């Protein structure tokens, strides 16, 4: 499978609670982790045994070299991870509260240098995309996102879009997507493009599927409530509960979900099975501090699913 997305270094402060506007909260602890939605999603997929290529960009700096080495150490193919000499590696400033909730601000840096032409060249060097799964997130420029989705669709790949952040998304982009993986807020933002103002996630999702919209399904991540699976057509929606875990840090849980979903689809799982596995993977990812540190291996995932089935 192929991931097209961002690579960042995460600068994290863990404190007793998130500050309000204009407020300073003391007593935090500082950490540095590897991150970026594209990088995180590629790690989530690779740990589940899926051969994974990452298309993205880092800067020609210490952060960029560390990021590239960390991804390669996970077994990810970084041959299409470009080095943008004129830009720094992307950085995310992350605040994490004791209850696991977080707040994130991102400086895109080299991620903003990805463009339609560079994505086209990278995907072209990877050969035929037919039957592959391509996962795209939105921390990169819109023209790069659409190029990746357009080329994947034209060559018969399955397209998965994680619409984070959701600002600027429109029906032209959604029409190139087979599976959409928003959280509640991202779904609401996307639904506004078709005038869907009702608050119910299923109603919003239904407005975005079918002719001219998302082709196969929208899977809404709901945090501790699991996920809502909304297929196209007349098939009923289904709630997928999360397995009980002790959440320490929810940073990267959405990335763990999207990466796991794409990896399981690439291994020929049904969409329903892939959603169920992705919910478990996302839950496991919250049990360890850091965006990537808790992302499960395939053995971890299968063991957790067996335990839940037996319970």
Sign of the four-CA dihedral 93, 98, 99, 100: positive
255 is catalytic: yes
What distance in Å separates the CA atoms of residue 216 and residue 233, rounded to the nearest whole number? 9
Token pair in block for residue 246: 């002790």
Task: Say how many C-beta atoms besides its own lie within 10 A of residue 307's C-beta.
Answer: 11
Question: How large is the greatest C-alpha to C-alpha distance in the chain, in angstroms?
Answer: 54
Neighbours of 299 (CB within 10 A): 11
Q: Are 144 and 48 in contact (CB under 8 A)?
A: no
**Pairing assessment for the beta strands 179-180 and 217-221 based on DSSP bridges:** parallel
Those residues with Cβ within 8 angstroms of residue 146's Cβ, 6 or more apart along the chain or in another chain: 116, 172, 173, 176
End-to-end CA distance of the chain: 33
Q: Which of 255, 273, 300, 309 is the catalytic position?
A: 255
DSSP 130: T
CB 95 within 8 A of CB 102: yes
Distances (CA, A) of 153 to 114, 163, 171: 20, 17, 15
253 three-class SS: helix
Catalytic positions, written as ranges: 255
């Amino acid at each position: 499978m192929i991931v097209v997305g961002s690579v960042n270094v995460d600068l994290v402060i863990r404190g007793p609670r998130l500050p309000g506007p204009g407020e300073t909260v003391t007593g935090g602890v500082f950490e540095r982790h590897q991150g970026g939605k594209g990088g995180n999603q590629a790690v989530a997929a690779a740990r589940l045994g899926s051969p994974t290529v990452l298309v993205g960009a880092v800067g020609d700096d210490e952060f960029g070299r560390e990021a590239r080495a960390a991804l390669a150490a996970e077994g990810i193919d970084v041959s299409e991870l470009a080095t943008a000499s004129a830009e720094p590696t992307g950085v995310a400033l992350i605040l994490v509260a004791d209850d696991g909730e977080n707040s994130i601000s991102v400086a895109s840096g080299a991620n903003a240098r990805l463009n339609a032409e560079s994505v086209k060249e990278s995907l072209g060097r990877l050969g035929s995309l037919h039957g592959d799964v391509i996962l795209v997130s939105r921390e990169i420029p819109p023209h790069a996102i659409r190029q990746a989705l357009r080329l994947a669709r034209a060559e018969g790949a399955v397209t998965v879009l994680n619409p984070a952040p959701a600002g600027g998304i429109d029906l032209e982009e959604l029409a190139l997507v087979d599976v959409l993986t928003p959280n509640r807020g991202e779904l609401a933002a996307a639904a506004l493009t078709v005038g869907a103002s009702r608050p119910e996630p299923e109603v919003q999702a239904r407005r975005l599927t079918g002719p001219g919209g998302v082709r196969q399904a929208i899977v809404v991540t709901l945090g501790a409530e699991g996920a809502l699976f909304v297929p196209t057509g007349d098939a009923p929606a289904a709630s997928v509960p999360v397995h009980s875990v002790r959440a320490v840090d929810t940073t990267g849980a959405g990335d763990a979900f999207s990466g796991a979903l794409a990896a399981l689809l690439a291994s020929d799982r049904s969409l329903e099975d892939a959603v169920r596995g992705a919910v478990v993977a996302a839950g496991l990812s919250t049990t360890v501090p850091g965006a990537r540190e808790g992302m499960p291996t395939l053995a971890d995932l299968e063991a957790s699913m067996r335990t839940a089935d037996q319970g």
